[in-house]
Structure 1
């Protein structure tokens, strides 16, 4: 990164769901240590107080996504010699992706209060709303692209407009940063929401419509997960999540109770809860010994509990 000044950084100015995770992964592969969507308490306090000399940039050389999207002019002043990358996307596809992303995110963010607090703040800054609003988001998308391009119109060497979702990648990015092409495919980040949507589709393929299944997900998937089927949290009391079991014996007892009382026909472990399969080794052994494993991949492990 010899072409970037001593104080210079790389900022990904794209809005949500424009490939900012992929951009972050790509920058890291190029040796630009970058953070995607930092939402720590210190960054929150600094942005709220108008301090754009962000402390996180003492450790990182790049940031992408909406924590920096609206502050490009201030960051340009604080970090002379920086490079700016505006990721874009076909607008209708972007709006559809944002709508799904917001709906799913608002199902689970109550389990992550720091993230929720930060996102409510930065969403209000960037979009002028906390909830998804199609007309407002469409307006913000057009205005943001226009404003960024206008700001850098006389400095084309400092701004790259990149359509990662449309297939652009190393050629444009490496040419802009003046670095060699890496011997690796351009990353296409499989973000949480993409994983969640894939997982929901896989559950729908295995668990018949109308069936009850036990869902072990660390309360991360939201109540809207696997529509048309009835997920039961584990452990469970009165249909509500009751916390993790104390040991494998308790887990096995509760599993068998839910098979009888709730009619659970499957148990689904989502990737946030994969640690259960090691920590509760007795439960895992019980499942392997007595039930068919219907699916195992990087997103889900599903056992068929039917006789």
Structure 2
């Protein structure tokens, strides 16, 4: 583990994923955390964190980004004390607005709610999210698949406390406090790498992550395929039921 992204969701985590990937790091983002080490996270969140488990989970990863790694960054840092820590931040009002937009998108997207209700991988994802996002609110488990966000004052208080803790715990020479609007130079200087000869990336502007994930992410694409399979099975059962009722009526 070389880089721990301690910045909370909606502070530019998707942008940082692209930037670190461009710089040659093997990055584990939200869906990768769910797919490859989700069972480990569920176990640790329920039973308590152990350094040896965290080392095992991330022994082949260069950088971690987004939930649940932002929330439990300190446990990861305990396992990898030589890693560099990047605290992405932004002003509270725009951050909470973006967080609210993201929560509303999760709730309003009927297709994604169906995925998290009637597919095997989607139901696993729903319980995983319910376990990992307790800082921001409550994720209702099956069959409702809704996220209830805490009020603005509570959420901002969590963010302030989180950022103060990062600044107090991480040695100054291992910490970068950073906004994605600053571009390549401070990030590359901190990591000791050359500045790429291309514009700094930007991702998930306006909280459109679901649309992007459907196009790009293999885990999301797998759940979409499972959705159509589940719907086909349900339709088949419905046709069989109607046919059976018809036979009973004829007899």
Q: Establish whether TM, by shorter chain, passes 0.5.
A: yes
- How far apart are residue 109 of structure 1 and its match? 4.2
State the match for 1:72 in structure 2.
73
Deviations 1:55-76, CA, capped at 9 Å, x for gaps: 4413311111121123233222
Native 8 Å contact 2:27 2:65 kept in 1? yes
State the match for 1:132 in structure 2.
149
Pairwise CA RMSD of aligned residues?
A: 3.0
SS at match of 1:181: coil
Native 8 Å contact 1:18 1:89 kept in 2? yes
Moved over 6 A (4+): none
Q: Distance in 2 between matches of 1:12 and 1:195?
A: 18
- Relative to structure 1, is the Cα distance of residues 141 and 188 closer, same or farther in structure 2, using a 3 angstrom cutoff? same
SS at match of 1:58: coil
- Relative to structure 1, is the Cα distance of residues 195 and 15 closer, same or farther in structure 2, using a 3 angstrom cutoff? closer
State the match for 2:123 in structure 1.
113
Q: Distance in 1 between matches of 2:60 and 2:96?
A: 33
Native 8 Å contact 1:33 1:61 kept in 2? yes
Tell me the number of residue pairs that the alignment of Structure 1 and Structure 2 aligns. Answer: 196
Q: Distance in 2 between matches of 1:109 and 1:11?
A: 30
Which has the larger helix fraction? 2
Native 8 Å contact 2:98 2:206 kept in 1? no
Which has the larger strand fraction? 1
SS at match of 1:186: coil
Deviations 1:100-149, CA, capped at 9 Å, x for gaps: 1112213434512222111111111x336442122221111111111111
Q: Distance in 2 between matches of 1:90 and 1:43?
A: 33
Q: Which has the higher contact order (CA 8 A, sep 6+)?
A: 2
**Bigger Cα Rg:** 1
State the match for 1:25 in structure 2.
18
Deviations 1:213-262, CA, capped at 9 Å, x for gaps: xxxxx998xxxxxxxxxxxxx9xxxxxx9559x9xxxxxxxxxxxxxxxx
- Relative to structure 1, is the Cα distance of residues 129 and 23 closer, same or farther in structure 2, using a 3 angstrom cutoff? same
Q: Distance in 2 between matches of 1:16 and 1:97?
A: 9
Q: Distance in 1 between matches of 2:155 and 2:95?
A: 10
Q: Distance in 1 between matches of 2:50 and 2:80?
A: 13
Native 8 Å contact 2:27 2:63 kept in 1? yes
Is 1:13 the counterpart of 2:6? The answer is: yes
Which residues in structure 2 correspond to 1:159-174 (within 5 Å)? 159-164=175-180, 167-174=181-188
Which residues in structure 2 correspond to 1:1-307 (within 5 Å)? 8-37=1-30, 38-40=33-35, 41-48=38-45, 49=47, 50-52=49-51, 53-54=53-54, 55-107=56-108, 108-111=112-115, 112-124=122-134, 126-127=135-136, 129-130=138-139, 131-133=148-150, 134-152=152-170, 155-164=171-180, 167-190=181-204, 193-194=207-208, 243=232
- How far apart are residue 197 of structure 1 and its match? 8.4
- How far apart are residue 11 of structure 1 and its match? 0.8
Native 8 Å contact 2:42 2:128 kept in 1? no
